[in-house]
């Protein structure tokens, strides 16, 4: 007989048939109509968008080029004024203070460097990658310690910068990705000191802010040198690395570049040289931004087609599902039974004919299954209670077999079993193993004086004190009568002696209340300590001997096992 969970767990109505074929036909016809209308509209808007882009890009590039040139001229004038107002006869320390003051007061520069006539740095201040790279190039290097190319590059740059006799600008490039503008101007000449020059690094974000102001309808603007190294950029499109040579040769008239050319996706790109420092401005605009009106129109057309298609498809779906909805309810009922939901019943108010007979049969079967399930659950509950009782009884018996009934400590049997396990473990780890045997001093006298009930109370309270005092890794057990034993795992004889002294002191300082008089009583213990060497019997024998010596020494003390005599001493 098949398992009902396997049979009905994943049952669903067939997806084929005349009704579903009608639904798919309506959907495909509506989608095809909307797609054709969208293609026609997209092509029309594409032609219009090309015309608009051809007008916007050249105007934006020309405007931006003029703005960048003005900003560079302003920065050069500012650097020339700073040089003119700086005293070249000042000390290097004064020039350093002057550079810090000028840099703090100016928002154009990221670094200032003063060079003497030989190209050595007299003073500097700044921040950022460009400033660090400039100082790295200007720092004198030896061919033994550096590459010859780096040495020559630094020498040439120092000579060029130190030889500046009028305000000018140049590019600093140290690498393949970025370049920065350096503005240079000579300080006033004096007889007392050789020529000194000022070199200011123009902040990249100054030019980037200017490009942001000039974006208009363009997606991104890049200011780069003739090698494609980026000086400043603005907008949504940012290159990863230097601009490709195709971008620099794009020309002022925009053209579409495909992904395998740009490496960043479909892009509309154009470029314009600005005639200063061999710089050029490149406009870059993603297709999604450049053809926004076209895409908006296509989106509206597709949205309208989607709404119409959804409406007609929904109508066809409702018509197709009307004939199978009631049968689906029956299948859902079987799935519920397969998931042990025996409370499920099918409604019979709005069904007629054969479906009504099927619903009645299903409900009758569900009633019978619910009754059988209730009986089974009742039997399971009875068996569960009996099993729980057996488990509790078994746990109680297991605990009694290893627990002392009076003190709730482990008994002698459990102690012997655990000692065997610890000795086996010791042969692998060699960490040390010791035992402590505790005996209550004059316990017979306590029993005779206060009675056996009081003696039992002594034992219970003593067991609690020992439990609180031993370590979590130690094993505490009642050895028999008034004797207790502790297995100190991982402990040598000296450590076990300290533990025994701790237990003895704790017991001697504790007041015991053992009878109705509520008078505190004191007891003491004698403890023998022994460490396992090679013999289980020797372990107990030496511990017992140590205990006897503790008794003989006046009680209330700790004695350790005596070391075995060597063959020489016995001779």
Rg (CA), the chain: 49
* pLDDT bracket for residue 547 (50, 70, 90): very high
Which pLDDT value is given to residue 1?
38
Higher pLDDT, 481 or 145: 481
**Number of other CB atoms surrounding residue 458 within 10 Å:** 20
Do residues 392 and 469 both lie within one domain? no
Q: Are residues 199 and 344 in the same domain?
A: no
- Domain check: are 374 and 421 in the same one? no
Question: Is the same domain home to 142 and 80?
Answer: yes
Structure tokens at 542: 């030496």
Instruction: Tell me, yes or no, whether 381 lies in a domain.
Output: yes
| pLDDT score, position 557 | 94
Distance CA 309, CA 30 (A): 5
Q: Stretch 208-213: mean pLDDT, rounded?
A: 84
Together in a domain, 342 and 438: no
Strand, helix or coil for residue 480: strand
Residue 167: pLDDT over 70:
yes
| 376 and 464, same domain (yes or no) | no
Q: 193 lies in which domain range?
A: 73-203
CA 245 to chain centre: 41
What are the distances in angstroms from CA 267 to CA 85, 240, 286, 346?
Answer: 48, 15, 5, 61
Residue 422 and residue 532 in one domain: yes
Domain identity same for 366 and 463 = no
Domain boundary among 376, 398, 420: 398
Is position 371 within any domain? yes
pLDDT band at 91 (very low <50, low <70, confident <90, very high): confident
Closest CA to 252 of 460, 447, 59: 59
Q: Please report whether residue 192 resides in a domain.
A: yes
Residue ending a domain, choose from 346, 373, 398? 398
- Determine, yes or no, domain membership for 419: yes
Residue whose C-alpha is closest to residue 414's, from 486, 477, 490, 482: 477
Is residue 138 assigned to a domain?
yes
DSSP 8-state class, residue 265: S
pLDDT interval class at 499 (50, 70, 90): very high
How many independent structural domains does the chain possess? Answer: 3
Q: Is residue 23 part of a domain?
A: no
Strands 180-186 and 433-440, by their bridges, are: unpaired
Same domain, 97 and 159: yes
Please check whether residue 36 lies inside any domain of the structure.
no
- My answer on whether 503 and 536 are in the same domain is yes
Q: Say yes or no: 118 and 154 in one domain.
A: yes
422 and 551 fall within a common domain = yes
DSSP single-letter state for residue 37: H
CATH number for 102: 3.30.450.20
Instruction: Identify which has the larger pLDDT, 528 or 36.
Output: 528
| Residue 5 binned pLDDT confidence (cut-offs 50, 70, 90) | very low
Determine, yes or no, domain membership for 176: yes
* 10 pLDDT higher than 50: no
Q: Is residue 236 scored above 90 in pLDDT?
A: no
Categorize the per-residue pLDDT at 6 as very low, low, confident or very high, splitting at 50, 70 and 90: very low
Tokens of 504: 């003895």
Among 140-149, 339-348, 411-420, the minimum mean pLDDT is found in 140-149
| Whole-number average pLDDT of the chain | 78
Is the separation of the CB atoms in 75 and 108 below 8 Å?
yes
- Among 369, 398, 427, which residue terminates a domain? 398
Residue reference for tokens 């931004």 = 289
> Whole-model pTM?
0.45
Q: What b/e string do you get for 103-126 counting C-beta neighbours within 10 Å, with b at 16 or more? A: beebebbbbbbbbbeebebbbbbb
Distance CA 42, CA 151 (A): 59
Output the CA–CA distances (angstroms, integers) from residue 353 to 314, 359, 459, in the order listed: 28, 10, 85
- The segment with the largest mean pLDDT, out of 214-223, 249-258, 321-330, is 214-223
Phi and psi, residue 375, nearest 5° = -65, -40
């Amino acid at each position: 007989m098949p398992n009902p969970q396997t049979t009905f767990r994943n049952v669903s109505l067939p997806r084929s048939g005349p009704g579903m074929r009608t639904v798919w036909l309506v959907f495909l016809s509506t989608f095809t109509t909307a797609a054709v209308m969208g293609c026609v509209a997209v092509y029309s808007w594409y032609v219009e968008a090309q015309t608009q882009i051809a007008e916007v890009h050249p105007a934006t590039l020309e405007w931006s080029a003029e703005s960048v040139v003005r900003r560079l001229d302003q920065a050069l004038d500012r650097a020339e004024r700073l040089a003119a107002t700086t005293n070249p006869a000042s000390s290097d320390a004064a020039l350093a203070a002057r550079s810090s003051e000028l840099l703090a007061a100016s928002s154009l520069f990221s670094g200032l460097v003063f060079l003497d006539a030989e190209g050595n740095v007299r003073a500097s201040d700044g921040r950022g990658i460009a400033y660090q790279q400039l100082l790295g190039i200007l720092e004198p290097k030896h061919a033994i310690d550096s590459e010859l190319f780096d040495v020559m590059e630094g020498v040439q740059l120092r000579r060029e910068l130190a030889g500046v006799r009028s305000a000018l600008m140049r590019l600093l490039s140290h690498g393949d990705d970025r370049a920065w503008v350096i503005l240079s101007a000579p300080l006033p000449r004096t007889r007392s000191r050789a020529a000194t020059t000022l070199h200011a690094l123009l902040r990249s974000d100054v030019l980037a802010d200017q490009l942001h102001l000039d974006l208009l309808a363009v997606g991104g603007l890049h200011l780069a040198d003739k090698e494609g190294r980026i000086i400043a950029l603005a907008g949504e499109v940012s290159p990863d690395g230097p601009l490709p040579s195709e971008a620099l040769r794009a020309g002022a008239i925009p053209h579409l570049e495909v992904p395998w050319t740009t490496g960043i996706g479909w892009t509309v790109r154009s470029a314009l040289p600005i005639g200063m420092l061999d710089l050029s401005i490149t406009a870059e605009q993603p297709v999604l931004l450049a053809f926004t009106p076209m895409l908006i129109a296509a989106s509206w057309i597709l949205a309208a087609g989607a709404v119409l298609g959804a409406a007609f498809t929904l109508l066809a779906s409702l018509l197709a599902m009307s004939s199978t909805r009631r049968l689906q309810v029956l299948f859902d009922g079987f799935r519920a039974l397969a998931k042990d939901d025996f409370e499920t019943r099918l409604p019979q108010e709005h069904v007629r004919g054969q479906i009504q007979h099927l619903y009645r049969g299903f409900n009758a079967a569900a009633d019978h299954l619910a009754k059988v399930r209730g009986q089974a659950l009742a039997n399971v509950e009875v068996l569960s209670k009996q099993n729980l009782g057996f488990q509790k009884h078994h746990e109680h018996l297991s605990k009694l077999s290893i627990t002392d009934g009076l003190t709730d400590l482990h008994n002698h049997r459990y102690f012997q079993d655990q000692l065997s396990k610890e000795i086996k473990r010791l042969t692998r780890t060699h960490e040390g193993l010791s035992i402590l045997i505790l005996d209550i001093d004059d316990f017979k006298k306590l029993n005779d004086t206060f009675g056996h009930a009081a003696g039992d109370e002594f034992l219970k309270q003593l067991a609690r004190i020992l439990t609180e005092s031993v370590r979590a890794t130690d094993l505490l057990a009642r050895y028999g009568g008034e004797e207790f034993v502790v297995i100190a795992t991982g402990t040598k004889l000296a450590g076990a002696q300290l533990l025994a002294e701790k237990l003895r002191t704790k017991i001697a300082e504790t007041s015991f209340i053992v009878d109705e008089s509520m008078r505190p009583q004191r007891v003491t213990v004698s403890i023998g300590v022994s460490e396992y060497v090679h013999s289980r019997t020797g372990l107990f024998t030496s511990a017992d001997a140590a205990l006897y010596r503790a008794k003989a020494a006046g009680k209330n003390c700790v004695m350790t096992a005596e070391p075995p005599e060597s063959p020489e001493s016995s001779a």
